[in-house]
């Protein structure tokens, strides 16, 4: 039997940390209160590298500062049987009484304008089936899911018909988690402070069905400071009031310890940020991108592919150089 909820502890933490503008969000089942903390994936890419390279001089720092921290696991067309992959991951977290962090990254035309992480499901129908299986595989177990990084910022090279298709897919995806994963908090990705202005992002979130999701996610795989994201998130949440509701947000702090230098693809000199926690100016601060995993064949990751773990980059991120 799952351990008893800790509603007073969670409510107190969120009341202290979350701006009042966010506290009016609709009530959902609370996956945080059902678990004893965030799940640390023993099979993450930094953990696998440390296990395979115990004698490397960088291994101890990468183990302690990255591999042993809670971070999200990403699921896409590389995951094979999505129902099995998600069920195994969420099941392992559930057995440990921990809260798993997942990122769904398989929308057709993924990273259409950036190009380094292109791919995704082959059709609208294929995506609808994939995300339905994803949600069903979580079932009643507690989880946090971020839906489709870049999907609402990446419009500049898309036709209106493609945009409309994407908005429909995201809206249906949010509905799948509400219907099939009642103990999951699903967040639609909402870009970052340097991409789309807050009122436009709120409009896009509304069209993408954020009313049916728990909230929105900021700074995924980017570097903007937590303070910049809190300010932006509050503006987006305030703009959503124009549609008759507001929503909480989470911030990816995995690589924002030194802030942004204006580049997004493997910039040098970045640093890991605050580890996953409740509050911090948002509903949660989360490590959504794995520190040390490449953004693609660019910057300090030249010659690598998106998602490849680069130990030297990870090591430098620990110390900020």
Q: How far apart are CA 132 and CA 179, in angstroms?
A: 10
Residues linked to residue 293 through DSSP beta bridges, in sequence order: 309
Among the residue ranges 33-37, 117-121, 190-194, the one predicted with the least confidence is 117-121
Poorest-pLDDT segment among 73-77, 108-112, 146-150: 108-112
For residue 79, give the nearest of 15, 152, 134 by alpha carbon: 134
Examine the pLDDT at 12 and tell me if it is beyond 70: no
Span 243-270, pLDDT tens digits: 999 999 999 999 999 999 999 999 999 9
Please give the average per-residue pLDDT across 109-116, as a whole number. Answer: 79
Asked whether residue 29 carries a pLDDT value surpassing 90, the answer given is no
* pLDDT exceeds cutoff 60 at 66: yes
Structure tokens at 114: 């950036």
* Mean pLDDT, range 195-210, rounded to an integer: 98
pLDDT digits (tens, 9 = 90+) for 225-247: 999 999 999 999 999 999 999 99
In the chain, where the domains are located? 7-319
Contacts 24+ apart (CB under 8 A), 165-169: 165/108, 165/124, 166/107, 166/108, 166/109, 166/208, 167/204, 167/207, 167/208, 167/209, 168/124, 169/107, 169/108, 169/124, 169/127, 169/128, 169/131
Q: Write down the pLDDT at residue 112.
A: 76
Q: Is residue 253 within 8 Å of 274, Cβ to Cβ?
A: yes
DSSP 246: -
Domain 7-319 belongs to what topology?
TIM Barrel (3.20.20)
Listed as own residue / partner, the contacts of 10-19 with beta carbons closer than 8 Å and 24 or more positions apart are 10/278, 13/278, 13/279, 14/278, 14/279, 14/283, 16/279, 17/278, 17/279, 17/280, 17/281, 17/282, 18/248, 18/279, 18/282, 18/283, 19/230, 19/234, 19/237, 19/281
Mean pLDDT of 154-167: 95
Average pLDDT over residues 97-124: 90
Catalytic hit among 81, 97, 111, 150: 150
- 189 tagged catalytic: no
Q: How many CA atoms, within 13 angstroms, populate the side-chain half-sphere of residue 133?
A: 18
């Amino acid at each position: 039997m799952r351990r008893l909820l800790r509603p007073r502890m969670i409510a107190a933490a969120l009341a202290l940390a979350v701006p009042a503008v966010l506290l009016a969000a609709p009530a959902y089942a609370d996956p945080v209160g059902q678990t004893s903390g965030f799940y640390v994936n023993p099979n993450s890419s930094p953990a696998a590298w440390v296990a395979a390279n115990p004698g490397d001089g960088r291994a101890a720092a990468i183990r302690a500062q990255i591999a042993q921290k809670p971070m999200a696991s990403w699921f896409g067309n590389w995951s094979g049987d999505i129902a099995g992959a998600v069920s195994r991951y969420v099941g392992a977290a559930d057995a440990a009484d921990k809260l798993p962090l997942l990122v769904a990254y398989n929308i057709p035309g993924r990273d259409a304008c950036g190009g380094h992480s292109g791919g995704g499901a082959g059709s609208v129908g294929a995506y609808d089936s994939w995300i339905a299986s994803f949600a069903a595989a979580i079932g009643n177990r507690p989880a946090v899911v971020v839906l489709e990084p870049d999907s609402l910022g990446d419009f500049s090279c898309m036709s209106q018909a493609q945009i409309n298709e994407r908005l429909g897919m995201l809206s249906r995806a949010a509905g799948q988690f509400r219907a099939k994963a009642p103990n999951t908090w699903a967040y639609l990705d909402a870009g970052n402070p340097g991409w789309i202005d807050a009122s436009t992002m709120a409009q896009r979130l509304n069209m993408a069905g954020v009313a049916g999701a728990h909230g929105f996610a900021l700074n995924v795989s980017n570097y903007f400071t937590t303070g910049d994201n809190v300010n932006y998130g509050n503006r987006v949440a305030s703009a959503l009031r124009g549609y008759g509701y507001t929503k909480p947000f989470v911030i990816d702090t995995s690589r924002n310890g030194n802030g942004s230098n204006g580049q997004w693809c493997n910039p040098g000199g970045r640093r890991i940020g605050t580890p996953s926690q409740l509050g911090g100016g948002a509903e949660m601060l989360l490590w959504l991108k794995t520190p040390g995993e490449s953004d693609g064949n660019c910057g300090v990751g030249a010659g690598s592919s998106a998602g490849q773990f680069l130990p030297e980059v990870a090591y430098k991120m620990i110390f900020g150089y």
